[in-house]
Amino acid sequence: MEFARISLVATVCILVCCAAGARLGYNRSWVTDACSTREGGEGTCINVRNCTALLKFISANSLPYDQYKSIISKFICNLENQQVCCPFKVPDVIASNTVVDHSQHSNYKLLPTNCGSSITIQKIINGNETSLFEFPWAVALQHKGDARWGCGGTLLSNRYILTAAHCIRPSNMLQLNKVRLGEHNFKTNPDCEDSGFGTTCADPPQDFDVSIDDAIVHPEYDSRTYKNDIALIRLRKSAQISDSVSPICLPITVDEQTFDFKNFTVIGWGGTENSFHSSILLKVRVPKVNNSVCAPRYAGLGALTSKQMCAGGKDEQDSCAGDSGGPLMADYTKDRRFRTLQYGIVSSGPSICGFEQFPTLYTRVDKYVGW
């Protein structure tokens, strides 16, 4: 442990020296040790070896060397003496504002390359009901004591599901019990669709028993503010990939993370405008809403962070409570390859579905890809 700490301190010292060519980002009072970073955070100008906040930041994040150098340069207050404006808390906001190319991350190879595609026979353009096979990554979650499938999720690989942390630790204390893959209509088995060239049917849905022991909840999840509302579920055995069960893609590259989408798609079996749950998987197109516009609606949850985003709240189209944990998606095309990427997880929203000027709050997936 001591060796690891020495190596970490050495790394930070090297980063400080290498940032010498960068524009120094400090605003320091030479009368006292008080200082402020380029981002406006308060701190104390001390030797980098004694800055616990930056040491924790380096050890907690797997970022490329150049990204570290860029971030550390924002804290330098006295380069000659290797001093940094040590913030009073670990610089979470700085990290979340940094766009990282995750294609070099050690875990990237664990994600499937054949993701985000479907073989929809007849895509419904002007309607809320989805087509068979249209969203094969849709997952339904069930809790003990509740016959409904009250939360959603997405399949990331044949062993992992992405969902919201509040679906793993709900306020009603119900325990996670089961997940279902490959479902389209809860009232029919098998699910079939007439394509005009005959009837096509999907394989039966795949059910998996799960518990909270199979879940990985973000360690900094806050149930009061919905900060870091993200979790993974590890299946005890592999799912069988098929036309009705396949993984969604995550935004990995910088281009994928920074593409300026104006609209997204949300799916789920959640409450409709009449507050009923749907037996058929539904979809709805929702507009992106700037955090500055939507923040007043969520003032009770504290300030929104760059790890959260808003969408919807217009034309009576939105996600509902039953869609918690479900995906906010967009279609991305590059080099003639068309894929669906997940950008958000349904986190919190109004109790009345599609309430005008009340967007839904989402956890930004791209900020946690390195997690």
Q: Is the preceding omega at residue 287 within 30 degrees of 0, hence cis?
A: no
Identify the active-site residue in 102, 143, 166, 277.
Answer: 166
* Catalytic residue flag (residue 92): no
> Which residues are CB-contacts of 12 (< 8 A; sequence separation ≥ 6)?
48, 49, 51, 54, 55, 58, 72
Cβ atoms 163, 216 nearer than 8 A: no
Q: Residue for token digits 């028993």?
A: 209
The number of CA neighbours under 13 Å toward the Cβ of 296 is: 4
Sign (positive or negative) of CA dihedral 178, 182, 184, 190? negative
* Catalytic residue flag (residue 229): yes
Identify the active-site residue in 36, 118, 324, 347.
Answer: 324
User: How far apart, in whole angstroms, are the C-alpha atoms of residue 43 and residue 88?
Assistant: 5
Q: Residue for token digits 């870091």?
A: 228
User: How far apart, in whole angstroms, are the C-alpha atoms of residue 180 and residue 175?
Assistant: 16
User: How far apart, in whole angstroms, are the C-alpha atoms of residue 324 and residue 279?
Assistant: 16
User: How far apart, in whole angstroms, are the C-alpha atoms of residue 310 and residue 246?
Assistant: 27
Identify the active-site residue in 92, 191, 229, 366.
Answer: 229
Q: State the catalytic residues.
A: 166, 229, 324
